[in-house]
Structure formats: structure tokens, C-alpha cells
């Protein structure tokens, strides 16, 4: 696998170099369609880049991408990198304030959006003062009417008809390649500024640890608006001259058939995804598949042996965040079960106490890290200098996660220090849930907390205090939430109480609520068959 010099660790340069080296070798495939070669990906992303230039997008401009998993999502991402623009991928579940916050905070001047998502943009168009242009991606042959918008509206086909000559742009390794929004813990989502250097380090180290060869085929059905699919599947495949197959969405029942059809050898999952796969009904051909490696963050230790034996695949665990990428890998989940692994060559990892002093092995504290090389990790949060200073204090990035290290330097994750909820791979800000619930006319105040899920990670519980004299049914509250927050943030559990536990300065004591967990007064939407629309 070729290792690029620091100055050449720029995504546009790498795409061009790989196209020259691999030419018509297959690079990316959408589901079971015909694969697209390295050369074709280079030429098409050049066209999209020049099309964006024709629409006034230049170096440093932000372009939001509100697209499902698709080749157009990848072409648009690569195109932005070639002209030095910054792509801003948006979670497909976002709507209302969640959507306008990302567009406004990133100061995006253009958005590339799927036709099926236009109604969400229409609802907030008057709340987007800096957005100028909307580029619509429609399915081939679509004849659907486009709602009238106040923006300059163009179509994706216009980008594809532009010149295939590579645009000239002075893009450097430390330039920001994208702003990826990760859920806030005490406020709105934060935009993580990821440089070209950071995404190269993450992707190349992933491929190196996995022992990827040009004969490997990566598989992902995780969303390309997240770092996992981008930097642990698509770019590792490119750095190793391999192939990657992307599916629009995850299906536990069809997963192994998809692996077989695409002849995939490497895939990565989230902890909940691994549990979903393991809990599927057993089939005689479970172990008859081409996969050799499953990368998981995290792999529940109680299913490691059964997962590997049943599916005939080795598992590897990692720990990391959007801000850092993977900072530790455990080459085999049977090696020190429960451990995320040891630090990569690009990172120092330590455990600090509340005073930012190192603790002894075996003592739980906050997981912190810093890069050993330039541009190994995020440069901070866009338009949030105070949050950046807080997270990067004393020259270490503070993850907000608790854990410990053993005498050999293996990291063990214990629990989250920050007040966020992680549900099926999504980080959810409790304050954003509370803002929506508190807007319900009958609600006085509320507190969102995490409770443990049967499939790993968390479920969302909302504890609600009604206004005096008001009565609220859980169904009417969740109906209100569904129209105003992503589906994954809609609470599963609802409990009404007379008052929330408070500190002397009137802060809600969420620790006490978490200790109570599920009580006899807690309403569970799944127990009554309440369905959340996606």
C-alpha cells in the first residue's frame, strides 16, 4: 500500500493518483449495479467539481450534502475536495431546527439535496439566510414536480455535463475537507472540522491494520453522511487499491446474502448492528460467506466467540470519535475480550482524572488523546471557539468518555461522562430532545436520559413535568415529537412526574433520574405497538 508524503495527503491528489495507477480497475459499486472504475470516478468527480465552480462555489466555501447513500453522494464529496470546498454531510433524519442549525452554523452557500427531501427544506427556507443555491438530485426518469423555492434551483445533471478536466486549486494537507456534525451533549450539534490530513491518517491506518490488499472488497450499508462509512470503508478501499460496495440502508435479514452477492471480504459495524446480526434466526449457510474480517465499534464481548464461530469471520474492535478517528485497535476481539485495543502509531492515549492528571493503570478516568503527527485529528468545532478550547485544553483532546488502561496499554471503555445518549449508532443531544418536548404547549419542563437497551447502547427516556392543570397522553406527546426531530431521537420511554430533582442552583440532577431508570410508571411505546415514521 502506497504511503503518501505529508504534502500529498490531499484527497483530490490521491483520487487522481489512484486513477492513473488503477485505470479501469473497479473501485466503487452501488448495491448490485455495475461497478465504477477508478478512472471513471476521477473523471465524474472532476465534472461535478467544475459544475460547482460554475455555480460560484470556490475554495473554502461550504456545500451541504443532503443525500442518501448513492454514487452521487460520493462524487459530490470527492468533487468538493478537488476544488478546495468544504462538504457538509447532513444526517438524513434531520428536519426542522436540527436541519436549519447544520446549514446555518456551517454557513453553507449551496446544498445538494435528494428530491425526496425537498419538502423538509421548503419548511425552513425562510430560516436560511446564507443559503443561495439548491441542486436537486432526482432519480432517473423522475417527473415529479419540484416545489417552488426562494433559492437558485438547479439540477444535478447540470453538474455532470461540465468539463472533465481536473480543476486547478491550491489545496493543502491542513485545509479543511469537511465539517461533520456530531451531536452536542449540552447544546446544538457541533461541526467537527476534518482536514485532508486527518482523513488520510484514519483511512490509511485502518487499511494497514486490517491488512487490506487490492483483492479485498469492502462492504458498507452505514450512512455516508457519517465518518464510519467514509473513513473506515470507502477511503481505506481507495488507499489499498481495493473495491468498495455501498448499499442504501442496512438490512439484518438480507445482510449475509448481500455479502455473498458482492463477494465482500471486509465490513464494519456498530455494536447494535452486530447484535442485530447475531440475533437473526440461524441458517445452515451462516458460515458460508466470503467475509474474512468484521471491524466493530464496539463489539459486545459476550457475543464475540459466538459471532466468529457462527459466521466464520474474525472480529476487530476499535475506539475513536469523529474528532479523532480511530485511536486504538484491538486486532482480535478474542485478544483481551472487552478491550478496544492499544494506541495506533499516530496517537498518544491516556487516562486523566478531573484535574487533568494521569492516573495509574486500572484506575477509571477520562479518555484523552493527541496526535503524534501533524493534522492527525480535528482542528476543532466550526464557529464554536469556546467548545473547541474546552475540548482541547492542556494540549489533549478530551473525549468525555470514561475508561481505564491496563499495564500493557490496552484501553477499556467504561461509560460516558458527557450527557449524551447513543442509540443504534447515533449520538443524540439530550438538550435538543428537551427543547422539542418543552415546546409542547402542555409541558412545563423535561429531562431526557439514556437507559440501557436490550440490543446494546441506549434507549431514550423522557421524564416530563406537565403544566399545572394539564394532562398529557404519551401518544400525543410522541406525535408532536415525530414532526420535529429525527426518528432515532423520538423517545421510547415516557414518564410523567410532579417535579425533577434539582441542585441548589436549579440544575436538573440527571444522575438521579438515570439511577431510577425504568419504573412501574414508565410508559414504553414498543409495548403498545406505537410506530415511529422514518
Q: Could you read off the pLDDT of 115-155 as tens digits, one per residue? A: 999 999 999 999 999 999 999 999 876 767 788 899 999 99
**What are 403-418's pLDDT values in tens digits?**
999 999 999 988 677 6
Dihedral pair phi/psi, residue 474, rounded to 5°: -55, -35
Q: Is 216 part of a structural domain of the chain?
A: no
C-alpha cell at 193: 472540522
Q: Is 244 part of a structural domain of the chain?
A: no
Give the residue ranges of DSSP H helices in 94-218: 96-106, 118-124, 156-160, 196-210
pLDDT at position 506, please? 60
Together in a domain, 182 and 324: no
Together in a domain, 140 and 57: yes
Task: Quote the number of domains for the chain.
Answer: 3
Q: Is 380 part of a structural domain of the chain?
A: no
Strands of the 266-270 sheet, one edge to the other: 36-37, 26-30, 243-246, 217-220, 266-270, 293-297, 314-321, 325-330, 342-343
C-alpha cell at 255: 445482510
Together in a domain, 276 and 424: no
* Separation CA 345–CA 341 (nearest Å): 12
pLDDT at position 418, please? 65
**Strand runs (DSSP E) across 183-333, as ranges?**
190-195, 217-220, 243-246, 266-270, 293-297, 314-321, 325-330
Q: Is 141 part of a structural domain of the chain?
A: yes
Together in a domain, 160 and 40: yes
State the CATH number of the domain containing residue 514.
Answer: 3.30.300.30
Together in a domain, 332 and 427: no
Whole domain around residue 459: which residue ranges? Answer: 420-528
Q: Is 153 part of a structural domain of the chain?
A: yes
Contact 203, 236 (CB under 8 A): yes
Together in a domain, 183 and 259: no
Q: Is 70 part of a structural domain of the chain?
A: yes
Q: Which residues pair with 113 in a beta bridge?
A: 66, 136
Together in a domain, 103 and 168: yes
Together in a domain, 173 and 30: yes
Output the pTM of the full model.
Answer: 0.84
Q: Is 45 part of a structural domain of the chain?
A: yes
Length of the chain (residues): 534
Together in a domain, 324 and 453: no
Together in a domain, 35 and 184: yes
Contact 416, 422 (CB under 8 A): yes
State the CATH number of the domain containing residue 110.
Answer: 3.40.50.12780
Of residues 37, 35, 8, the one with CA closest to residue 241? 37
pLDDT at position 185, please? 45
Q: Is 207 part of a structural domain of the chain?
A: no
Together in a domain, 33 and 133: yes
Q: Which ranges of the chain have pLDDT less than 50?
A: 185, 504
Together in a domain, 81 and 144: yes
Of residues 432, 396, 400, the one with CA closest to residue 418? 400
Distance between first and last Cα of the chain: 41
Amino acid at each position: 500500500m502506497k504511503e503518501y508524503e505529508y504534502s500529498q495527503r490531499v484527497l483530490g491528489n490521491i483520487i487522481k493518483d489512484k486513477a492513473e495507477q488503477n485505470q479501469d480497475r473497479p473501485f466503487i459499486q452501488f448495491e448490485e449495479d455495475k461497478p465504477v472504475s477508478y478512472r471513471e470516478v476521477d473523471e465524474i468527480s472532476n465534472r461535478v467539481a467544475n459544475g460547482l465552480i460554475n455555480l460560484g462555489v470556490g475554495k473554502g466555501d461550504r456545500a451541504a450534502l443532503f443525500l442518501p447513500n448513492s454514487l452521487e453522494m460520493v462524487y459530490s464529496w470527492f468533487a468538493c475536495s478537488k476544488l478546495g470546498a468544504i462538504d457538509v454531510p447532513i444526517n438524513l433524519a434531520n428536519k426542522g431546527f436540527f436541519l436549519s442549525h447544520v446549514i446555518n452554523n456551517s454557513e453553507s452557500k449551496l446544498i445538494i439535496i435528494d428530491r425526496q427531501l425537498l419538502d423538509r427544506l421548503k419548511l425552513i427556507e425562510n430560516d436560511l439566510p446564507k443559503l443561495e443555491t439548491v441542486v436537486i438530485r432526482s432519480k432517473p426518469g423522475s417527473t415529479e414536480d419540484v416545489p417552488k423555492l426562494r433559492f437558485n434551483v438547479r439540477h444535478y445533471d447540470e453538474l455532470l455535463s461540465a468539463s472533465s478536466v481536473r480543476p486547478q486549486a491550491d489545496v493543502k494537507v491542513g485545509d479543511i475537507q469537511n465539517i461533520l456534525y456530531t451531536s452536542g451533549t449540552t447544546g446544538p450539534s457541533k461541526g467537527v472540522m476534518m482536514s485532508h490530513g486527518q482523513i488520510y491518517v484514519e483511512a490509511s491506518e485502518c487499511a494497514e491494520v486490517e491488512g487490506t490488499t487490492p483483492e479485498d472488497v469492502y462492504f458498507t450499508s452505514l450512512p455516508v453522511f457519517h465518518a464510519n462509512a467514509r473513513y473506515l470503508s470507502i477511503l481505506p478501499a481507495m488507499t489499498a487499491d481495493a473495491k468498495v460496495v455501498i448499499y442504501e440502508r442496512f438490512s439484518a435479514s438480507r445482510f449475509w446474502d448481500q455479502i455473498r452477492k458482492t463477494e465482500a471480504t471486509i465490513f464494519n459495524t456498530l455494536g447494535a448492528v452486530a447484535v442485530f446480526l447475531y440475533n437473526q434466526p440461524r441458517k445452515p449457510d451462516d458460515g458460508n460467506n466470503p467475509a474474512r474480517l468484521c471491524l466493530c465499534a464496539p463489539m459486545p464481548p459476550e457475543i464475540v466467540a459466538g459471532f466468529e464461530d457462527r459466521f466464520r469471520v474474525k472480529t476487530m474492535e476499535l475506539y475513536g470519535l469523529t474528532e479523532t478517528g480511530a485511536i486504538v485497535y484491538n486486532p482480535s476481539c478474542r485478544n483481551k475480550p472487552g478491550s478496544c485495543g492499544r494506541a495506533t502509531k499516530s496517537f498518544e492515549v491516556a487516562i486523566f482524572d478531573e484535574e487533568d492528571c494521569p492516573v495509574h493503570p486500572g484506575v477509571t478516568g477520562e479518555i484523552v488523546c493527541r496526535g503524534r503527527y501533524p493534522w492527525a485529528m480535528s482542528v476543532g468545532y466550526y464557529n464554536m471557539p469556546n467548545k473547541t478550547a474546552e475540548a482541547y485544553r492542556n494540549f489533549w483532546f478530551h473525549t468525555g468518555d470514561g475508561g481505564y488502561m491496563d499495564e500493557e496499554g490496552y484501553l477499556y471503555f467504561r461509560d460516558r461522562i458527557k450527557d449524551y445518549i447513543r442509540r443504534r449508532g447515533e449520538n443524540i443531544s439530550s438538550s435538543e430532545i428537551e427543547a422539542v418536548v418543552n415546546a409542547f404547549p402542555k409541558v412545563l419542563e423535561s429531562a431526557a436520559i439514556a437507559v440501557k437497551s436490550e440490543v446494546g447502547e441506549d434507549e431514550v427516556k423522557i421524564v416530563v413535568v406537565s403544566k399545572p392543570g394539564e394532562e398529557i397522553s404519551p401518544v400525543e406527546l410522541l406525535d408532536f415529537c415525530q414532526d420535529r426531530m429525527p426518528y432515532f431521537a423520538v423517545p421510547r420511554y415516557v414518564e410523567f412526574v410532579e417535579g425533577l430533582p434539582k441542585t441548589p442552583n436549579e440544575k436538573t440532577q440527571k444522575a438521579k433520574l438515570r439511577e431510577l431508570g425504568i419504573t412501574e410508571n414508565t410508559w414504553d411505546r414498543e409495548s403498545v405497538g406505537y410506530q415511529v415514521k422514518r
